[in-house]
Chain A
Amino acid sequence: MLDRSKIGHEFAPFTVEIEKGRLRFFARAIGETNPIYVDEAAARAAGHATIPAPPTFMFSIDLEGPEFLPIVKLLGLDIPRVLHGSQEFDYLAQIYAGDVITQTSKIADIFDKKGGALEFVVVESVYTNESGEPVGKARQTLVYRSS
């Protein structure tokens, strides 16, 4: 059983600069064809200040912390038994290249189903830009197989 006392655990906040080249790389890796995600002039022509981060890029911010997947160590997870169960994003403002985003996250819940054969870990994150404006929220559910 995963340690239920970790419910409410807050991970150390961290700050990430959203790099333009990284956004272009991400857009190409997902096969994006809309030029606003790779070309600054196209982005401006569409009314953006610069290249926007695509909708799921917030998840990549989570992976930029000082430690890769800190939850693995915190809960003592065996990586091959972890599956991504679900993911949810709320959009409050657009994230752009050049933004400096601070991510804070916590373990919102840990519960089990099927008599403990599957455990679920819910992590909630909030993203704030350099002006202190909240730009998004995320809720991630990991599924952990007991064997």
Chain B
Amino acid sequence: MSKTTVGTKIPALKLPAISRTTLALYAGASGDHNPVHIDSDFAKKAGIPDVFAHGMLSMAYLGRMLTDWQPQSQLRKFSSRFAAITHLQDIISCSGEVVELIERDGETLARCSIQAAKADGQQTLIGEALVAI
């Protein structure tokens, strides 16, 4: 692998379209049974057109991108802001790049700017990760 430096791109991760099955499985596996993500009757009663994806599902996708790039043991910090709702059938892509190298506690950390975005480019998650390199 080439040397990690400022500007190094994290290999992107493109996901299949979000389906009701995706959300049902994630609800069960994650323990997040909030009905706004799995029960369209509940959503409609609450005035929401339909169920929508858990923000944490996309954060898990960002996590996959990070651990595909560097082993999880190198991950020091991982944060994300949920900027827009991910709807059914959205196709999410994760990307990121190293924006700064920081020396801390005797190791070099790559501060990475990361994002999840829909096919039209709208950002859904905007975050940051600190990864030891």
Is the Cβ of A55 less than 8 Å from the Cβ of B31?
A: no
Residue of B nearest to A65 (CB): B31
Known: A84-B55, A85-B81, A94-B73. A54 touches B63 (CB 8 A): yes
Roughly how many angstroms separate A63 CA and B32 CA in the complex, as a whole number? 7
In the complex, which residues of chain B have a beta carbon less than 8 angstroms from the beta carbon of A76?
A: none
Kindly state whether residue B36 has any CB partner on chain A within 8 Å: yes
Contacting residue for B60 out of A25, A34, A54, A88, CB 8 A: A54
How many residues of chain B get a CB closer than 8 Å to chain A's CBs?
A: 41
Is the Cβ of B36 less than 8 Å from the Cβ of A29?
A: no
Roughly how many angstroms separate A68 CA and B33 CA in the complex, as a whole number? 9
Is the Cβ of A94 less than 8 Å from the Cβ of B26?
A: no
Known: A29-B26, A54-B63, A83-B82. A91 touches B75 (CB 8 A): yes
Is the Cβ of B79 less than 8 Å from the Cβ of A89?
A: yes
Is the Cβ of A30 less than 8 Å from the Cβ of B61?
A: yes
Is the Cβ of A25 less than 8 Å from the Cβ of B28?
A: yes
Kindly state whether residue B117 has any CB partner on chain A within 8 Å: no
Q: Interface SS of chain A: helix, strand, loop or mixed?
A: mixed
Closest chain B CB from A27 CB (angstroms): 8
Kindly state whether residue A146 has any CB partner on chain B within 8 Å: no
How many residues of chain A get a CB closer than 8 Å to chain B's CBs?
A: 33
Top 10 A-B pairs, shortest CB-CB distance? A29-B29, A80-B46, A63-B31, A88-B79, A55-B63, A30-B60, A29-B25, A26-B29, A86-B81, A84-B55
* Seed contacts A26-B30, A55-B66, A87-B80; 13 additional CB < 8 Å A-B pairs: A33-B64, A54-B67, A59-B30, A60-B29, A64-B31, A79-B46, A80-B47, A84-B55, A84-B56, A86-B80, A87-B79, A90-B76, A94-B73
Ordered by A's residue number, 13 sampled pairs between the chains whose C-beta atoms are within 8 Å are: A30-B57, A30-B60, A31-B15, A31-B61, A32-B64, A54-B60, A56-B63, A63-B32, A79-B35, A84-B56, A85-B81, A86-B80, A88-B79
